[in-house]
Structure 1
Amino acid sequence: MPERSHAVFLNRVYPPTPGATGALLAELAPALVEQGWRVTILTGPEDGEPRSERRADGVRVERVRAVPFDHQDVWQRALAYALLFPAFLIRALTMPAPDVWVTKTDPPMVKVLGPILARLTGAQALHWAQDLYPEVAAGVGVLPDGGILNGVLRRLSTAALRGHDHVVTVGRCMQERLVAGRGLPEDHVSVVPNWPPSVVEPVPHGENPFRAAHDLDGRFVVMYSGNMGLAHPFDTVLSAAEHLQGLSPEVLFLLVGNGPRKPELKRAVEQRGLSNVRFLPFQPRERLAQSLSAADLHLVTMRPGLKGLVVPSKLYGALGAGRPALFLGPAGSEAARMVRDHDCGTVLPKADGTALADAVRRWHEAPERWADATERARAAVAGARANAVERFDTLLRRVTDANT
């Protein structure tokens, strides 16, 4: 491979714009630069940020003009997504052609641009699948399952996936879904798990200013940290909080982040009179280690029908902070497998509020079990980022070498 082969990543968000997909990319891109790659990020707009810049870490960032993104309004969000496609395509075709285009899954269906750009520029294409669309949209009720639009988008998605030279998934369940459900050849799909943010490390409760600042001392904190979106069921969480409010008043459910369901959740907490549920906004990167370590347990949730379609990235942050996880979701999903394989939490495939409350109490009342699990949680993700960088470097080299 030439010393400075060029990879362009397409993704709607990139720091300082918040978002899990952008945060992961911001950790991978500079590491690839260190491996000898020339890396460009083609991304969406952000107020106050230049349209084009080369950052100190060697990554070039190109921002397109587009409609502002609104998490709360479904139709504005859909319009913002739709208008990104021509913006990305036009900007991409005015840039020097790279050796490989890398599409992600934000906005949904952006993978359709990968084969188009590859054909028009003579480059290769790799897709990095964090989610599978349109199945996710149908799974959360945004699209009617089995409808005409869903069928058209599925065929378009499958054609796009086949048109990429390789596909990277973030979980074994997702790889299985693409091979069995979409008919992709096994050697066309690889698994590269996500990883915790590099700034995340365990911070002992007694040394954590975040706990003191938010009056968490003396509380057993069950934290949900991340997007409060449609893929995550919360009724069970609120029912568990209601169950524990009188039985274990020292247990606090702390919901940290933003998302389209946050206003609804705040109303539900007020209506139920839950004094053991609090909300905090999205936490900046520099406070992430303190925030995630402030928990005693982390909640990771996923709708049962989304097995193989998404892998909650928040699990990796929780484990990176050395905290066990309570996973509410399908038993065969990547998150469930990871928790079970490393014995670093509890998997509750069909939990109701009572079952979740009982699981919380078991962790709260067994400090020795909790201490052992914190060690296993950290070990479960040790070296994950370095492994991911190595795998991406290898796969990108393989894809570009195939074009020489």
Structure 2
Amino acid sequence: MRSRICIFTEHYYPDESATGYILTRIAEGICAQFHVQVFTKHLGRGVEPSSGNHHIRNQVHVQRCRGTHLDKNRVANRIVNIITLSLAMFWRGVFEVRRDDVVLAVTNPPTMPFVVMMVCLVKRARYVLLIHDVYPDVLVATSLIRSGDLLARLLDWLSSLNYRNAVGVIVLGRDMKERVLRKTTEIRDRIHLIPNWADTGEIAPAGKTENRLLKEHALCDKFVVQYSGNMGRTHDLETLLGAATMLSNDANIHFLVLGAGAKRKSFEDAVRSAGLKNVTILHPEARDHLDVLLAACDIAIIPFIGGMSGISVPSRMYNIMAAGRPILAVADEDSELGLVVREEEIGWVVPTAQPRRLAETIREIRLNPGRLTEMGKRARQAAESKYTFPAILAQVRKVLTDAARMSGSNHASA
């Protein structure tokens, strides 16, 4: 008899966010070995699947829980959304999770691991934690709370408690593993480093000359630096803007920015105010067009604010590699992003908050096209040899299988 895996996640198909896509692929990828039940948010009127709150997609049973849908770019609204969704998912979990289930919880939103911990304590089930962002560290790094204050200490204690109660903890990078272990060394024998993957089947290296996006915006003959993804509080768009300003008189270099998030409006306003003609800002492309998007540049930039080492690992790094594009990382030296870029020799690492250094690096890169080409080839090779979906899924499946065996043996002996 197959064990059941219950996945608690705010984001799930048809949500195209990185978390939604990753959890959907995992859920559908493990269906051959497990019965899979997903608990996720209700998407709102007009976008919900026609089958309503409960439906089956690709053998996955999906149960949608109702919460508020206020503008998430405002902190107060986001908090209300998180609280209402957490209450709804706790209620659903208490009624539907069984003692012999294994629950997989992701750390977005930050209350989700605690919801799952409480559900599993009530139902005597086991859970595995998939850490996408480390809390409260990310709140401190983005200045939403202060390090060392009462709230930060409380959240840190709760996170450590959550880690200790999990039968498995999955982290995305070496830096994240070190940070989590500093919080509690008790989980050393059950912490698993499993990175995200590259969609090497759907994304392949392609030239610029026939790229739809570049042709539409007359950028085929430019040296294009692309930023695509979430324009959120953890991203150092200020350094990107500073470099673009310093390079505004170089007609050969152009910045292509695609994304949405809390910093998008301020970034657009700053570009408009400075009259920067070397920056094009577009809305995000649908995931179906990701291959076109990632090929629309000479180099992709991933800018993080300082102090993010061990807190978050950018999933888009691996798809950039699949597209055969070098990476310009604005990041801490010891971050997983910085380590991969240097170890695989697939790009450059620039310190955060140094726009002049970034501008100088971009100038140097443009003058060395041969090196850029070699780095792009190495990026694709690394994606194919280390970060394919089947290889990463097999590691996740093993963690869940081990947890299911523990749950089954405990249930049998009870």
Q: TM-score, normalised by structure 1?
A: 0.95
Q: Deviations over 1:80-118 (max 9, x none)?
A: 011111111111222252620011011113111233222
Q: Note if 1:225 corresponds to 2:228.
A: yes
Q: How does 1:12-161 map to 2 (within 5 A)?
A: 12-34=10-32, 36-47=33-44, 48-49=47-48, 50-55=52-57, 57-95=58-96, 97=98, 99-161=101-163
Q: Deviations over 1:31-77 (max 9, x none)?
A: 1113x22212211111331211101x212211101000423211001
Match of 2:390 among 383, 386, 392: 386
Aligned to 1:212: 215
Does structure 2 retain, via aligned residues, the 8 Å contact 1:231–1:303?
yes
Aligned to 2:333: 331
More divergent stretch after superposition (290-299 vs 95-104) = 95-104
Q: Aligned partners of 1:181, 1:93: CA distance in 2, in Å?
A: 29
Secondary structure in structure 2 of the residue aligned to 1:241: helix
Q: Aligned partners of 1:51, 1:320: CA distance in 2, in Å?
A: 36
Aligned to 2:323: 321
User: 2:167 is matched by which residue type in structure 1?
Assistant: D
Offset at 1:206?
A: 2.8
Q: Note if 1:261 corresponds to 2:263.
A: yes
Q: Aligned partners of 1:215, 1:95: CA distance in 2, in Å?
A: 54
Does structure 1 retain, via aligned residues, the 8 Å contact 2:303–2:352?
no
Q: Note if 1:280 corresponds to 2:282.
A: yes
Does structure 2 retain, via aligned residues, the 8 Å contact 1:109–1:133?
no
Q: Aligned partners of 2:198, 2:86: CA distance in 1, in Å?
A: 30
Alignment: residue pair count = 399
Q: Flag the 1:12–1:78 CA change in 2: closer, same or farther, 3 A.
A: same
Offset at 1:121?
A: 2.3
Offset at 1:139?
A: 1.0
Match of 1:195 among 194, 197, 205: 197
Does structure 1 retain, via aligned residues, the 8 Å contact 2:41–2:85?
yes
Match of 2:9 among 1, 8, 11: 11
Aligned to 1:237: 240
Offset at 1:345?
A: 0.5
Offset at 1:329?
A: 0.8
Q: Aligned partners of 2:34, 2:351: CA distance in 1, in Å?
A: 42
Offset at 1:130?
A: 0.6
Q: Structure 2 regions of 5+ residues with no counterpart?
A: 410-414
Q: Aligned partners of 1:72, 1:394: CA distance in 2, in Å?
A: 37
Does structure 2 retain, via aligned residues, the 8 Å contact 1:255–1:280?
yes
Does structure 1 retain, via aligned residues, the 8 Å contact 2:105–2:116?
yes
Q: Structure 1 regions of 5+ residues with no counterpart?
A: none
Q: Deviations over 1:162-182 (max 9, x none)?
A: 111110000111111111233
Identity rate, percent: 29
Q: Aligned partners of 2:97, 2:192: CA distance in 1, in Å?
A: 28
Aligned to 2:300: 298
User: 2:405 is matched by which residue type in structure 1?
Assistant: D
Does structure 1 retain, via aligned residues, the 8 Å contact 2:35–2:60?
yes
Does structure 1 retain, via aligned residues, the 8 Å contact 2:128–2:167?
yes
Q: Deviations over 1:194-245 (max 9, x none)?
A: 1134633222223322322232211111111100010111221111111111
User: 1:311 is matched by which residue type in structure 2?
Assistant: V
Does structure 2 retain, via aligned residues, the 8 Å contact 1:14–1:25?
yes
Secondary structure in structure 1 of the residue aligned to 2:260: coil
The root-mean-square deviation of aligned C-alpha atoms, in Å, is 1.5
User: 2:398 is matched by which residue type in structure 1?
Assistant: T
Q: Deviations over 1:318-343 (max 9, x none)?
A: 11211100000100010001001100
Does structure 2 retain, via aligned residues, the 8 Å contact 1:70–1:77?
yes
Does structure 1 retain, via aligned residues, the 8 Å contact 2:326–2:379?
yes
Q: Deviations over 1:279-328 (max 9, x none)?
A: 11111011111011111111111122121111122212211211100000
Aligned to 2:412: none
Q: Aligned partners of 1:244, 1:175: CA distance in 2, in Å?
A: 38
Secondary structure in structure 2 of the residue aligned to 1:90: helix
Does structure 2 retain, via aligned residues, the 8 Å contact 1:114–1:160?
no
Q: TM-score, normalised by structure 2?
A: 0.93
Offset at 1:122?
A: 3.0
User: 1:213 is matched by which residue type in structure 2?
Assistant: E
Q: Aligned partners of 2:335, 2:179: CA distance in 1, in Å?
A: 11
Secondary structure in structure 2 of the residue aligned to 1:53: strand
Does structure 2 retain, via aligned residues, the 8 Å contact 1:233–1:303?
yes
Q: Aligned partners of 1:244, 1:42: CA distance in 2, in Å?
A: 47
Q: Aligned partners of 1:335, 1:275: CA distance in 2, in Å?
A: 30
Does structure 2 retain, via aligned residues, the 8 Å contact 1:114–1:164?
no
Q: Aligned partners of 1:70, 1:196: CA distance in 2, in Å?
A: 31
